[in-house]
Chains A and B, each alone.
Chain A
Amino acid sequence: MKKAWSFARDISLYAIKGGPFFYAWMLFLFFFILVGLYTSYRQFSEGLILTGATDQIPLEMFFANFVFTAHVAAAAVLVVAPGYFYHRKDIKELAVIGEIIAMVFVATGITFILYHMGRPDRLFHMIPGIGFLNFPNSMLVYDTIVLNVYLLLNLTGVVYILYNKYVGTFDSKHLARWFTPIVYLAIAWGPLIHIVTAFVLASNARMVPWATAVLPFGFLSMAGASGPALIILIFLLTRKYSKLQINDSIIDLLTTIIAWSLGILMLVFAAEIFSVLYSSTEHAASLKYTMFGHNGLNKYVPWFWGDIGTLIGCFIALLFPGVRRSYNFWLPIVCLLVFFGVLVEKPMVLVFPAFSPSPLGEYTEYHTTLIEFLNVLFIWAVAFLWLTLIIKGAIGILTGEVRYRKSPPRKAVQH
């Protein structure tokens, strides 16, 4: 107990100390958190009427961002898997960072869903026993289950690894009996949450643009692009600002994953666009609206082309070794573009235009409200706050700067 207490204390104390760059970042996040507290209060007291959602477009920015968090959460296994499946030692050391990212992003996704709910106060209706779950029919039920289990799996993994490293009992060759299955389960669970999230969308026959078999493949390839993009950025920052060593070979592996995920994504887009547009039946209406507009409503047209252009550009850029090796300039730029390219795709290409035409032939543009936007920023600010602090604490433990007073001195840090 005493150990657990000092674990929590030491890791928090380490996490909140940093250089000016770190404090500036915290201040930046806190600004949006403060504003967001007020706008969240407004939304929870007055209802979703403060967002841009309507009966024509019932999903708001929150839901779109939720899909994106599922991308990144699922992709975090890409840092965990190589270590455990291919026994790459250097990356196995970093597996815990992947698990932290998965944990924080799943929690963020669940928060987005909370903001999406019309009656968040009644969520207890979904607790089995007290409430009622429409199992096995409702896809949202599956999603709730897989997301929460994924959160738990990663939470267990993170706490187990960090705590044991902290007290000095961690030995990657002799993990606890129960722990190895949990790691493998968590690795399998990553793609699972993503496939289920795709099915939540694809299960609606009337949402013609989503009711396609390529949706999970599109999602997985976008996950494979956006997740590692974020992870590379985190790794580059980490090795610049901390003592933790991260080999170039790990970055290169992740870059390769991004490049080929983008490649597969191009194929998925091409397959979808071809099979919809060649015959151009009434099912093409929504895609045509996104690509070319409809009777003067063309809000999504620049977003669509801009986004596709960005992703194709990033794919081509990553084919050049010069870009892949430019760890301090080109690579971070490409990673940022991929991250935001996939993020922006969610509301502006995947979600909002999919509602036009409606079943009764209406075309609608979505108008995000300021409150909704600030709430989205609030949730992201909280997410990045946690992400920064937890990863920072973890770095302290991985480098051996934070450890239990009485634990035996660590052998050389492996990498």
Chain B
Amino acid sequence: MSEENNTNPEESADLDNSRRDFLRYVCTSSAAALVVASESSAAAVVEEANSADAEVTVAEFFQGHFVLMSDEEKKQAIARLEKRYSAQYGKKTTVSDVAAPDGVLFGYALDMSKCIGCRRCVHACAEENNQSRGESAIQWIQVMKIPKGNISFSAEELEKGYPEKSRFGDYGVQVGGNAYHPAGLTTEGAQSYYQDEAVPDKDFFYMPVQCQQCEKPPCVKACPVRATFRDHAGVVLIDYNWCIGCRMCQLACPYHARRFNWGEPNLPAEEMNPKTHYFGNRPRMKGVMEKCTFCVQRTREGRNPACLEACPVGARKFGNLLDPESDVRKVLATKRVFRFKEEFGTYPKFFYYIG
């Protein structure tokens, strides 16, 4: 885009682009909104920022699916977004489009016996991934507080089965008095909105649930426009600019992992994390779907997800499922591992184990 600019690169780049975009979208009335600042310095971006820059441009509105864009279009799309976010949040924002590494299949493992239900992962995730705050808060991780079986059975219930005691001495055809008290790992009786002063509660155990990065993801199958797709490292992602907000994916997901922006997300500028990825934590807009991405902005650069770093008890392990030396692989090799809701046949790459 800048190969033709030899003098005063900044200005002519703007001019050039505005002309080009103008030709492309002749139908628009406001050519100024189309200007794409591509290679401006950080300071310049913030200085130049005015309210017009914070608006979605016509070019952004008409952009295609990011995966199908040419390299040139990708560069322009990224530049547009960086400019818009920088203006909107008043700080230099980067939007990366680093590709997934080759020969890698990301996987996650969580130790149920260690998790204490403190929800630090939940909050670290929200901060890292620029989730909406306050009234319209969005959280990608939901921690279930599940009663231990030890409080499920009681002698008082012994006589309470139905139908009444029969000549066979049992309490009913099928239903004993201690039925309907969940015990063990079940969502029946799970509480997700506990507000405890201190954790862990001794009568409960905890199970955090987030996107399980299914190998056979029903959400991807359901999306009518392929706004959501699986990358070659096995992570299911969403192009927030391509999503049409039909929520078919949310209906299809058996893990309640997807969150929708019902209104304009509320992300205070001072809490905004300016280091973003196109498919990851860049700020979202009204009416689009979002969910855990295993922190693409971090993991594609070889770092660990934010939830893992935040966990105070080391219950979370992340790594490459193809590498026998990785943490997840070691867990898979040595622990008793299970997949949540494996009956749905989605083959998650998120594993739970009892450490």
Contacts and interface: CB of A to CB of B under 8 A. Distances in A.
Interface of A: 46-51, 53-55, 58-59, 116-119, 121-123, 125-126, 131-134, 137-141, 144, 200, 203-207, 282, 285, 357-362
21 contacts: A47-B262, A48-B263, A58-B250, A58-B260, A117-B287, A118-B247, A118-B286, A118-B289, A122-B243, A126-B224, A134-B221, A134-B225, A137-B222, A138-B224, A204-B251, A206-B218, A282-B188, A285-B188, A357-B187, A361-B192, A362-B256
B251 A118 contact: no
Interface centre among B68, B262, B345, by most chain A C-beta atoms within 10 angstroms, is B262
Contacts of B286: 47, 118
Interface string B195-218: 000000000000001000000001
A133 B264 contact: no
A50 B136 CA distance: 12
Contacts of A119: 243-245, 287-288
Interface in B251-283: 251-256, 258-264
B254 A206 contact: yes
Interface residues of B, number: 49
B244 A359 contact: no
A138 B223 contact: yes
B258 to A, nearest CB: 7
A138 B188 contact: no
B226 interface: yes
B65 A132 contact: yes
A64 B192 CA distance: 28
B174 to A, nearest CB: 8
B189 A361 contact: yes
A301 B224 CA distance: 34
A131 B225 contact: yes
Contacts of B260: 48, 55, 58, 118
Contact of A123 (B136, B242, B244, B252): B244
A297 to B, nearest CB: 15
Contacts of B227: 125
A253 to B, nearest CB: 38
A254 B247 CA distance: 37
B190 interface: yes
A359 B341 contact: yes
Given A47-B287, A359-B255, A206 B344 contact: yes
B248 A138 contact: yes
Contacts of A51: 262
